[in-house]
Amino acid sequence: MAFLQKLVFLLTLLSCLVGLGSAAPLRARPRDPPPPAITPVPLRLTAQQDSFNFDLSTTLVLPTSTMQPLQTVPPHCAMYNSLQSECPTSFEAVNVTYDDCGDAWTVCRCSTANMTMDTAVERLGRIPVGLRRYVATVVVAPDTQTHAYTLTSGDIHMFGDTQVDSWVHEAGHAYDWATGSPLSGTPEWQKAIDSDTCVPDTYSATSAGEDFAQMTVMKVYSLIHENSLPEGWSLDCMSHQMDYMNGLPVFNKAELFGNTCAIAGSDPSSRHSTPPPVTPTRVQPDFPAQVQPNSPLKSGLAAVEDKGEKTPTNKDSAALSTYITDVKSVLFAGGAVLGWLMW
């Protein structure tokens, strides 16, 4: 009788542990992104807002696309396929060609990723072609949190259900590092930061590189909104940063939205430059300017101080959450087995 009771108890314990494991989609153990090529230094400027709250998915035009499945996953995707890396299951890979470029983009999607392949291809396509041409391979992986990182090679890694503004942000990183020496590390960009008193949002203040990428999103938004910023933001306190953006060739509106990655006098550091067989005739529409407040800064929102501390990220939060869950599971199992043995 005692043996049967113990057997029932053990089976119940195993079913509980299985239940714990099925509560979330299968994903790899949290993996920190590669160390930054440049050690990030927080900016001592005030953030206008906590984060971005506007949607670019309904305003940026979408080119048509065709997908060609790849029989073999490229090595620079396959290297992230393991239980200890970004994709614990398997990758599917495609070459996607948009109607505005003769070159294809490779997209590798983990089978358990939050975004479908169609969603990833759509969001990549909404990046204006003049900026998208700097993006190399895209890796789409699962996570309970949305976050991303870009390698200096131009490869972008997306986690969770990242929205279009994040895709534009990461493309901004790819452009920033296209030559191998980041624009965000130049004295000119630093001078623009030093001449201003604010940055777009809290994440912008984590480093000059993140500020560059967030200003990329702001610049793209302004180009399709009559040179205005989203409601709740003002240009006054970050005008020098925007002036720097205005002077970059990539933000020539006619070329950014020009329906071809083959831009005259093309930047040799762009990764896609073959003209499409037929150049599309669609036009990126303009949208009404947003009403700008006189004083956009959030009261009581302090500037990021350089205390040598690591800025928390969604990746850190996901790692902590998973770690806590794992500890709880181990303690539960250990205590239960110990009680069973002593019974």
Does some domain include residue 22?
Answer: no
**Residue 85: per-residue pLDDT:** 95
- 340 and 260 in one domain? no
Does some domain include residue 30?
Answer: no
Asked whether 52 and 172 are in contact (CB, 8 A), the reply is: no
C-alpha 343/C-alpha 340 separation (Å) is: 5
Confidence of residue 149 (pLDDT cuts 50, 70, 90): very high
**Residue 22: per-residue pLDDT:** 32
64-92 pLDDT, tens per residue?
999 999 999 999 999 999 999 999 999 99
Does some domain include residue 262?
Answer: yes
Does some domain include residue 316?
Answer: yes
Mean pLDDT of 204-216: 98
Cα 21 to Cα 25, 122, 141, 146, 205, distances in angstroms: 9, 32, 19, 21, 37
The percentage of the chain sitting over the pLDDT mark of 90, rounded to a whole number, equals 71
Does some domain include residue 259?
Answer: yes
* b/e sequence 14-32, b meaning 16+ C-beta within 10 Å: eeeeeeeeeeeeebbebbe
Extended beta strands in 142-225, E state? 147-150, 156-159, 198-201
Asked whether 175 and 250 are in contact (CB, 8 A), the reply is: yes
Asked whether 174 and 136 are in contact (CB, 8 A), the reply is: yes
- 264 and 188 in one domain? yes
- 148 and 184 in one domain? yes
Lowest-pLDDT range, 6-20, 77-91, 236-250?
A: 6-20
Asked whether 283 and 224 are in contact (CB, 8 A), the reply is: no
User: Which residue range is the domain that position 208 belongs to?
Assistant: 46-302
C-alpha 231/C-alpha 3 separation (Å) is: 69
Mean pLDDT of 249-264: 95
pTM of the predicted model as reported, rounded to 2 decimal places: 0.78
280-338 pLDDT, tens per residue?
999 999 999 876 555 444 433 333 333 233 333 343 334 434 444 444 444 445 555 44
Cα 50 to Cα 173, 203, 206, 304, distances in angstroms: 21, 8, 12, 12
Which residues, including other chains, have CB under 8 Å from residue 27's CB and lie 6 or more apart?
Answer: 88, 112, 141, 142, 143, 144
Mean pLDDT of 130-137: 98
- 258 and 343 in one domain? no
- 287 and 157 in one domain? yes
End-to-end CA distance of the chain: 13
Q: Which residue would you say has higher pLDDT here, 324 or 243?
A: 243
Does some domain include residue 3?
Answer: no
- 202 and 144 in one domain? yes
Confidence of residue 268 (pLDDT cuts 50, 70, 90): confident
Does some domain include residue 14?
Answer: no
- 317 and 293 in one domain? no
**Residue 319: per-residue pLDDT:** 40
- 103 and 210 in one domain? yes
- 320 and 288 in one domain? no
- 341 and 221 in one domain? no
C-alpha 237/C-alpha 47 separation (Å) is: 10
Does some domain include residue 111?
Answer: yes
Number of domains in the chain: 2
**Residue 320: per-residue pLDDT:** 38
Confidence of residue 37 (pLDDT cuts 50, 70, 90): confident
Lowest-pLDDT range, 10-24, 38-52, 205-219, 268-282?
A: 10-24
Residue whose pair of structure tokens reads 């800064």 in the numeric block: 297
- 334 and 274 in one domain? no
- 285 and 172 in one domain? yes
